[in-house]
A and B are shown apart, each in its own frame.
Chain A
Amino acid sequence: MSDDQDDIILADLDDDELVQQMYDDLYDGMKEEIEEGVNILLERKWTPYDILTQSLVGGMTIVGNDFRDGILFVPEVLLAANAMKGGMNILKPLLIETGAPRMGKLVIGTVKGDIHDIGKNLVAMMMEGAGFEVVDLGINNPVENYIDTAKAEGADIIGMSALLTTTMPYMKIVIDTMVEHGIRDDYFVFVGGAPLNEEFGKAIGADAYCRDAAVAVETAKEFIARKHNQAQA
């Protein structure tokens, strides 16, 4: 790599080059550069929604795929998500102002009895990075936290996380309670956590088991797209 790479002037790049450079800057977790890139695109009259979907979400998709494939690991993903957040902070008010389409809303937390939150935090960050709105319930959540917040926030997805084999079964209690209240089908229920697997997700009646944060994002996109298609049909 040549030394002149140090001196890239973002404002001198044309739109395509700039978006490509922003992909790289996200990958490298360069927050200030991402903020600068977002501001330049705004000056060039890009809509906030186009900036979000074409530059930021596009870049985070590459990060997510490389995380899924075991090329990037948690430290790099956290830095990328942090850079993404810098861009999002600029775009968020503008997205609301311009009435841009929403990607969807996720309510997420670790289940009752479980205080391990690194995985949950990663999913929240990657989902935000993909343009979703995220309501983070934190750790140790009883069933009513999930249900009440999902209702109050008009969420699309409820995400539950557990690191312990002893807390995993609580996920079924949440799902069973949703069924009792007749609201199970109002939300997609995603589950995740180190000791879980596909089979467990099916056994407790979740819509999806997400192996990692990247898979959670892909799955969320799929389900939301399906929901939109059904709404139109």
Chain B
Amino acid sequence: MTNALSKMIETREWILTDGATGTNLFNMGLTSGDAPEMWNEEHPDRIRALYKLAVDAGSDLFLTNSFGGNASRLKLHNAEKRARELSRIAAELGRDVADAAGRPVVVAGSVGPTGDIFAPMGPMTHELAVEIFHEQAEGLKEGGADVLWLETISAPEEYKAAAEAFRLADMPWCGTMSFDTAGRTMMGVTSAQMVEMVEALPNPPLAFGANCGVGAADLLRTVLGFTAAGVERPVIAKGNAGIPKYVDGHIHYDGTPELMAEYACLARDAGAKIIGGCCGTMAEHLAAMHEALSTRPKRGRPTLETIAEGMGGFSSANDGTGEGEDPESMRTRGRRRRK
């Protein structure tokens, strides 16, 4: 089955996605604490402007303003009943901008985490998560999204539940996890374990990868981990524009457009096909990334040293995939087995 993204994957060497949604919306006047998804209805002009920022900077694909548009997140704003509708509008606005671009641009329906921890440690169950994701998926589909785009996931249970929901909605999809804890996701998943999980899914994504996390260096190490696992499936790299710093009462990401341009090339060298930014990545970063990917030649696979030189150091010595030294447990005895 072909779709706008699968066609692009077949014909293109690299695909540039968008950058930050939140950082841009706050610049447009969103107040912290408000649900960005409400703007789909209240300020459609600003959401179109957000999408257009990415398209005009050269992005081939952008994510819709629906990251927190699932019932579980919207509940915190007393809008849990509006998940399908707000997601539909997010995609409709995206369709407007993409269809007016004059070149193929993919509308990717963003689906973020539920924010709840799965049972037995937390309240979320597989069935409930599938239901929540399915509802949002149907809204994005109705609104005309080309693909669904799961992002910033930590728990394998949640990734699998979303995959099942997207199968129910009969939609092609992509899915990235966030590796922010010593090179793993918060729930302990390594890059290699993600590959294993993705390849075992009954309806695997068109592409998979990493987004957000710590800085650009860590994200590239994760991409190396994916490609080292020998996977054929296209890899997505969507890293933050450096690290947030506090300057004069505001938060500023320290990654320059030049740094993100080099990051984009390193991501391609490391084997990523779909490349973009996450938090702090603005239109000027995207334009620099587009320029660099278009003009600079592809190099060989980078080493960890090359990445550290170009992007700054890693947040941990090890990412759990066997590179670097394993940390040693403080535990002195063996594991007791359950009866």
Question: Do A25 and B336 have beta carbons less than 8 Å apart?
Answer: yes
Shortest C-beta distance, A163 to chain B (Å), equals 10
Question: Do B180 and A172 have beta carbons less than 8 Å apart?
Answer: no
B121 contacts which of A78, A116, A139, A203 (Cβ < 8 Å)? Answer: A78
**Nearest residue in A to B318 (C-beta to C-beta)?**
A70
Question: Do B251 and A75 have beta carbons less than 8 Å apart?
Answer: no
A135 within 8 A of B: no
B279 within 8 A of A: yes
Cβ–Cβ < 8 Å partners of B33 in chain A? 112-115, 140, 167
In the complex with contacts A1-B335, A166-B22, A71-B181 CB distance below 8 A: no
In the complex with contacts A70-B320, A71-B329, A74-B188, A1-B334 CB distance below 8 A: yes
Cβ–Cβ < 8 Å partners of A71 in chain B? 327-330
**Nearest residue in A to B253 (C-beta to C-beta)?**
A165
B244 contacts which of A30, A168, A170 (Cβ < 8 Å)? Answer: A168
In the complex with contacts A1-B335, A140-B33, A168-B251, A70-B316 CB distance below 8 A: yes
A165 contacts which of B120, B251, B327, B328 (Cβ < 8 Å)? Answer: B251
Residue among B183, B243, B246 facing the most chain A CB atoms (10 A cut-off) = B246
Question: Do A167 and B32 have beta carbons less than 8 Å apart?
Answer: yes
Encode B212-253 as 1/0 by CB contact (under 8 A) with A: 000000000000000000000000000000011110011101
Shortest C-beta distance, B121 to chain A (Å), equals 4
Encode B143-174 as 1/0 by CB contact (under 8 A) with A: 00000000000100000000000000000000
A54 to B128, CA, bound (A): 41
Question: Do B31 and A113 have beta carbons less than 8 Å apart?
Answer: yes
B residues contacting the other copy or chain, number (CB 8 A): 47
B187 within 8 A of A: yes
**Nearest residue in B to A65 (C-beta to C-beta)?**
B330
Shortest C-beta distance, A153 to chain B (Å), equals 25
B interface, over-half SS: loop
Question: Do A118 and B117 have beta carbons less than 8 Å apart?
Answer: yes
Encode A1-24 as 1/0 by CB contact (under 8 A) with B: 100011010000000000011011
**Residues 131-145 of A at the B interface (beta carbon under 8 Å):** 139-140
**Nearest residue in B to A29 (C-beta to C-beta)?**
B121
Cβ–Cβ < 8 Å partners of B332 in chain A? 20
Cβ–Cβ < 8 Å partners of A200 in chain B? 244-246
Cβ–Cβ < 8 Å partners of A28 in chain B? 335-336, 338
Question: Do A169 and B115 have beta carbons less than 8 Å apart?
Answer: no
A79 to B121, CA, bound (A): 7
Shortest C-beta distance, B263 to chain A (Å), equals 18
B32 contacts which of A78, A114, A195 (Cβ < 8 Å)? Answer: A114
A6 to B339, CA, bound (A): 6
**Nearest residue in B to A25 (C-beta to C-beta)?**
B336
A167 to B115, CA, bound (A): 17
In the complex with contacts A75-B187, A78-B117, A169-B251, A66-B331 CB distance below 8 A: yes
A100 within 8 A of B: no
Q: Sample 14 A-B pairs with CB under 8 A, ordered by A number.
A: A6-B339, A25-B336, A27-B331, A30-B336, A62-B330, A70-B316, A72-B188, A73-B186, A74-B154, A79-B120, A82-B121, A113-B33, A118-B115, A166-B251
Besides the known contacts A23-B333, A74-B188, A75-B187, 14 further A-B residue pairs in the complex with CB atoms under 8 A apart: A1-B334, A28-B335, A65-B330, A66-B331, A70-B182, A70-B327, A75-B121, A112-B33, A114-B33, A118-B115, A118-B117, A165-B251, A165-B253, A168-B244
Interface residues of B (CB under 8 A from A): 22-23, 26, 31-33, 76, 115, 117, 120-122, 154, 180-184, 186-188, 243-246, 249-251, 253, 279-280, 316, 318, 320, 327-339
Top 4 closest pairs, chain A to chain B, by CB: A73-B188, A70-B182, A113-B33, A113-B32
